[in-house]
Structure formats: C-alpha cells, structure tokens
Amino acid sequence: MSRRLPVILLLVLLPVWLATSYGARYGFMEDAQWVGICVDEASRWECQVRSNLGLMIHFGVLGWAALGAAIIGFVVPGQAGWWLAVLALVFGFPALALYNTTLAVFAVVIAGLRLVRASRSA
C-alpha cells in the first residue's frame, strides 16, 4: 500500500462527507416537509432521528467530540495521532454544517495542523 493512499482517500472522502452533512442540514433538518410531518406524527422513526440530531446540535456534541479528538490527536505521536486527527475531521465537518461552528472551526484547524505536521522519523 502506498504511503500516499490514505491522504488521497482523505482528500476524496472529506468533501463527500461535507456535502452529505449539508444535505442532512438542508434536506432533513430545515426542510419544511419534515417539519410538517414531525409536527403531525412525532412517533415516526425519521422524526425521532431528527429530534435526536437536534439535541446533538443543541448540546454541541459533534463540536465537542471533534475538538476533543483534535486536541488528543495533536499531542499523541505517530500513527495514532494521525488517525485521531482524521476522526476529528470526521466529527468536525458535520459540526461545521450543523451549527456547531464555534467549536468545529478550532477542531478542524487543529486536526489539519496535525495532519500536515512532519513525522519525527523523517
């Protein structure tokens, strides 16, 4: 396996993940159709998922998870730190799209800095 393959996959999959996050925001959370359906039938599983996602947004779960993973990934050396930074981006991009920008912007910057930091063995 090439050393660059994980980086290439990351550069391809992260924009797709960000687009999916914005799709969830505009197609599921802000769509007037879902608002009307969930007012009438709150017990539907889709409405329960929407409600739980709203609670996650309200309490900043994605932003805090991204920030925690980014900070830990920044101080952990080697491959484990790199993968924690990737995890921070996986949590941080949806947090950016889903109203947790204050925490997520710091997490994405810290994770990005960790990803581009040169390894000590090189």
Q: How far apart are CA 87 and CA 109, in angstroms?
A: 13
**Is residue 120 predicted with pLDDT exceeding 80?**
no
* Tens-place pLDDT, residues 43-53: 999 999 999 99
| pLDDT at res. 117 | 84
Pair 63, 106: CB distance under 8 Å:
no
Tell me which DSSP letter residue 16 carries: H
CB-count exposure of residue 52 (10 Å: 0-12, 13-18, 19+): exposed
pLDDT digits (tens, 9 = 90+) for 51-106: 999 999 999 999 999 999 999 999 999 999 999 999 999 999 999 999 989 999 99
pTM over 0.85: yes
Does residue 103 or residue 122 have the better pLDDT?
A: 103
